[in-house]
Amino acid sequence: MTRRPLIGGNWKMHLLRADAEAFCRHVQEHGAHPAAECVLFPSAPLLATVARGLAGSDFACGGQDIHPDDKGAHTGDVSGPQLVDAGCSWALCGHSERRQDHRESDQLIGEKALAAERNGLKPMICIGETADERKSGATFEVLDRQLNAALAGRPEPFALAYEPIWAIGTGETATPEIAQKAHARIRDTLADLIGSEAASSKRILYGGSVNPDNAAELIAQPDLDGFLVGGASLDPERFLAIVRCCG
């Protein structure tokens, strides 16, 4: 089955409004009709700016996080209705930095994915193992556990992003063989959860020090359907170079 590549750009806690506006102008001028589906994930204060700046383009906007509740006394959090109101169509759920820095549990990630679905947002669910878990041989166990929890409520539609934590922001990238092995395992687990036909249509992205130099070799792997890009997504030309690798 042919799956259209999906490329996400996670800006994390970077860029200011002028930077975001300049990025969107570059996309409008140089990124028309990409072969891959593209979505940018700016920090919350930049969501409306980016959504406006991308209007009319083939790029979408998404939130870096979503609260399980649609409203309430949750200082500092962002709800699904607020993301939609800002112009989002996607929401990241379970990024490793949220799991680590904010102690987010597997169960909470599943609740966030359902909150996204409830509000018409597509959850991009992140899973991945730490360096210690990999060294101990627990990679598949961790991926299975995280995936089962994230999909317990059966959100639909969704995309997955495999992020080996040991490769995020370290400059160390999983080899194409390592990435493919993990992606194949994820698709097998998906088949057990939602059926083989549905699993074959789901896009599984790789995230972890992706750049224009390694993207082409990675995207050539049969179960790798795109990227969740971190640092390289802050430069529009580098980001578009990765997108072009998927064409």
> pLDDT of the chain along its 247 residues, tens only?
589 999 999 999 999 999 999 999 999 999 888 889 999 999 999 999 999 999 999 999 999 999 999 999 999 999 999 999 999 999 999 999 999 999 999 999 999 999 999 999 999 999 999 999 999 999 999 999 999 999 999 999 999 999 998 887 777 778 999 999 999 999 999 999 999 999 999 999 999 889 999 999 999 999 999 999 999 999 999 999 999 999 7
For 240, the domain range is 6-245
Sequence length of the chain is 247
Q: What is the DSSP letter of 165?
A: G
87: its two tokens: 């112009």
Please check whether residue 141 lies inside any domain of the structure.
Answer: yes
Known catalytic residues?
95, 163
Total tally of structural domains belonging to the chain: 1
Three-state SS at 235: coil
Please check whether residue 1 lies inside any domain of the structure.
Answer: no
The residue assigned the tokens 């991308």 is: 54
Q: What is the DSSP letter of 204?
A: E
Check which CATH number belongs to the domain holding 123 and give it: 3.20.20.70
What sign does the dihedral 29-32-38-44 (CA atoms) show?
positive
Please check whether residue 191 lies inside any domain of the structure.
Answer: yes
Please check whether residue 33 lies inside any domain of the structure.
Answer: yes
Please check whether residue 188 lies inside any domain of the structure.
Answer: yes
